[in-house]
Homo-oligomer: A and B are copies of this chain.
Amino acid sequence: MKTSNLPDIHTDFAQWYQEVVYRAQLADQSPVRGCMVIRPYGYAIWEEIQTVLDKKIKETGHQNAYFPLLIPESFLNKEAEHVKGFAPEVAVVTHAGGKELEEPLVIRPTSETIIHSMFARWITSWRDLPLKINQWANVVRWEMRTRPFLRTTEFLWQEGHTAHETYEEAHAEMILMFEHYVDLAENYLAIPVITGRKPDSEKFAGADITMTLEGIMQDGKALQMCTSHMISQNFARAFNISFQNRNGELAHPYLTSWGATTRLIGALIMTHGDAKGLILPPRIAPIQVVIIPILKADSQEKVCAYAQELADVLKKAGVRVHLDLDDQKTPGAKFYEWELKGVPLRIEVGPRDLEQKQVVIVSRLTGKKEVILGDTLERIISQKIKEEQDALFARARDYRNKLWFKREKLSEFTQDLETKGGFYQTGWCGDETCEEKVKAAKGTIRCLLPEKEFAHCFSCQKSSINDIIIAKSY
């Protein structure tokens, strides 16, 4: 492991990010263009996220299933908006089993088309509704510029797909799953988000409404974290999904889809990291507490036994604890490594601690050391896990608030947006001509907020339809 300093987080954020990803062994570059290898430590974070999300998905009445990776090219072409959005970035299988295929197959960039084709078979009556399916899968989108976790050719995600009798029910589903994503982001990942509807230009290809969670990264850019969509009725028509409704008439169901990806790991890094590397919120950290024994020749065995005892106590209490007994590394090298990897709490125990039946606890976030009695460990660690989680969220919220500005006109913030980043709340008439001006300033409308503080459009000064957030984005 390299022990030189990381690139400066303030002046060279992009390079800092890459180095944290590689040095903390979250991911590695692969020999395949735009694809990364998710290493065990990065994958363990994804498993924690999966556990939280899978529970939410099942508790809200969805069932997991699995649909084919390969989709007939003709399926993609059935919904006009969808093909426009995804056709340019699909990977295409033209040969298989030593022969050229009659019809090329695309690797799923998302699974609406294949899943809706099955919905058409499964749904015949209102009694089959709602149909609420989720899939954990890999997808491939041939992106031009890639970055580990943030934008990779292949990524992992969950994609929910549901069908409902009425517009209202589908709309409620879209909102419900959106709110679960907000809960995941804020209460587990400790990332405060700005939420709202996407403007038409930024919607999912084929959606009527796209709801988004925008995270605020430390470099002042927005990261779209999760999205939840009302899918256009065109999909139901294109795939012939229809059912006999309660009045005996044939009707199309209303569809939703919603997804969260491995990109969330990128959000964690960019929201919480510091000069020493990653900082993980305890609720999602694969290792919440690392115990490092300080070994001297004459007490080595006893100190290790004491450290093991502490580890057992914490493990039994349900804490995710790792005891680092590697005898090839100095304590200093271990401190460095586990700080880089963002473990929320470190426990040090040496010969003197053993004598006094005490332990030293160090917070990754503040670096503050505290000496406590060994027999209070379980209680104090469980309290500290909560405190660290809250403190991390509070720090990120403060940071977000400092980067959240309210401005009447684009001209007031064009320069700041381009040079310093930040989030600019303003009014918008809803017109694409005005939206184009934002793009010229290297920003995008990240979302339309539910509230309305500004009466006029940031550009044309006509009446505003909604407040919006303008920012640069990943």
The chain A residues found within 8 Å of chain B, CB to CB, are 28, 30-32, 35-40, 43-44, 46-47, 63-72, 75, 87-98, 104-105, 107, 114, 117-118, 121-122, 127, 133, 137-138, 140, 142, 144, 153-154, 156, 328
Contacts and interface: CB of A to CB of B under 8 A. Distances in A.
A162 to B, nearest CB: 13
B133 A40 contact: yes
B94 A94 contact: yes
Contact of A30 (B30, B31, B68): B68
B39 A71 contact: no
Copies in the complex: 2
B105 A68 contact: no
Contacts of A127: 328
Contacts of A328: 127
A40 B65 contact: yes
Contacts of A46: 66
A362 to B, nearest CB: 26
Nearest to A262: B66
A35 B35 CA distance: 25
A32 B71 contact: yes
5 contacts: A35-B69, A37-B66, A40-B63, A90-B96, A97-B144
The 5 closest A-B pairs by CB, nearest first: A97-B142, A40-B63, A35-B68, A91-B96, A38-B66
A69 B155 CA distance: 10
Contacts of A98: 87-88, 142
Contacts of A118: 28, 30, 37
B65 A39 contact: yes
B68 A40 contact: no
A252 to B, nearest CB: 20
Contacts of A95: 91-92, 94, 104
B138 A31 contact: no
Contacts of A91: 70, 93, 95-97, 105
A70 B140 contact: yes
A221 to B, nearest CB: 25
Contacts of A44: 63-64
A333 to B, nearest CB: 13
A94 B96 contact: no
A12 B14 CA distance: 63
Contacts of A65: 37-40, 43
A249 to B, nearest CB: 19
B31 A72 contact: yes
Nearest to A68: B35
Given A35-B69, A89-B97, 9 more contacts: A40-B64, A70-B91, A90-B96, A91-B95, A92-B93, A92-B95, A92-B96, A93-B93, A94-B95
Contacts of A142: 96-98
Contact of A140 (B35, B63, B67, B69): B69
Contacts of A92: 93-96
B64 A43 contact: yes
A156 B66 contact: yes
Nearest to A62: B40
A69 B154 contact: yes
Nearest to A115: B37
Contacts of A104: 95
A140 B70 CA distance: 10
A32 B96 contact: no
Contacts of A75: 31
